[in-house]
Amino acid sequence: PKQHQLPIVALVCNLASRSDDINTGGAILSHGEVETLLHEFGHALHSLLSRTSFQHLSGTRAPIDFVETPSHFMEHFAWEPQFLRLIAPSSMLLDEGILSTLVSTRYAFRGIDVRTQILYALFDQALFGTFYPHGQQQQQQNPSLYHSTQFFALLHQQHNVPYAEGTHWHTRFGHLVTYGAGYYGYLYSQVFALDIWKTRFAVATSDVVAGDDDKHDDVMSRREGTRLWKDMLIHGGGKDPNVMLRDVLGRAPNVDTFFDRA
C-alpha cells in the first residue's frame, strides 16, 4: 500500500489582545480576525487533506490562479449565522438582530474592493510581466512615469480609486514578491470559491439522498464537505484545476454567482 508523509501545518497568527481576555479565559476575536483566520485555515486544510504521489504537488503547491480557492471558500463560513453560533463563546449572545445586521454589511463597499484588487493585479503585471498601460514605447520615452510609487498613484487615478499622497503602501505588499505577475489569481480564485459555496453549500438543490438528514442546503453538510475534499483538496496541485472544479460543481465554473450575490 502507498505510504504518505503526513503534513505538519502551523498557523502563526498576529491577533489583537483585548482587555477582557483574562476574564473570559481566552482571546475574543473581532469578526475581521475570524474571517482572516478562516482564510488561512483554508490554506492549512489544503495541505492537511492533500494526498499526492509527489511531495512538490501536494497541498498549496498548486497553480497560482487556483491556489487561493480553498482559502476564499473558508471565508464564507464567517458570514453564516449557523457557523457563528457554533464558534461563539457560550457567554456571548448572538441574537438574530445582531447576526442579520452583520451579514447585511458583508458587501458594503464591495465595488471599490473589487476595483482595488484589479488595480493591484495590474500593478503586479506591470512590475513582473509585460503589461504597459501606455505602451512600451512611451515607457522608454518617459521612464520616470514608471517609478513604482508614481505608477501606483497613476493606476489609482485611472481607476478612480482613492490614493493617499505621500504614501508608499505597495512597499509593504508582500504578495507582490510571492506572486510575481500572478496576483490576479487572488481575485480570480474568489470566483471559483463563491461558485462552489453557492452551488454546493448555500443553495438547496434536488441532489438529496432519500432519507438523508444531511441536507444539501446545510452549510455544515458532511456530504458536501467530503465532496470538496475528495474531488478537490485531496489532489493538491496534482490535477488540472478545471477538472477538479467540474467534479465539485458538476459543471464548468462560471462567473454568474460572483455578480449575483442576492
**Res. 81: pLDDT tops 80:** yes
Instruction: Sort 116 into a burial class: Cβ within 10 Å, 0-12 / 13-18 / 19+.
Output: middle
pLDDT at 209: 43
40 is catalytic: yes
If one compares 205 and 55, the residue with the highest pLDDT of the two is 55
Interatomic CA distance for residues 42 and 185, integer angstroms = 16
Q: What does the pLDDT read at residue 11?
A: 94
The mean of the pLDDT values for the chain is 85
List Cβ neighbours of 24 (8 Å cut-off, separation of 6 or more). 89, 91
Q: Based on the number of CB atoms within 10 Å of its own CB, is 5 exposed (0-12), middle (13-18) or buried (19 or more)?
A: exposed
User: Which pLDDT belongs to residue 255?
Assistant: 93
* Confidence bin at 136 (pLDDT 50/70/90): low
Higher-confidence position of 257 and 212: 257
Q: How far apart are CA 219 and CA 133, in angstroms?
A: 43
> Which residue in the list 33, 35, 40, 80 is annotated as catalytic?
40
Residue 211 pLDDT exceeds 70: no
Measured distance between the N- and C-terminal CA atoms of the chain, rounded to whole angstroms:
48
Which run of H or of E encompasses 188? helix 184-196
Model pLDDT for residues 16-66, shown as the tens digit of each residue: 776 655 565 566 788 999 999 999 999 999 999 999 999 899 999 999 999
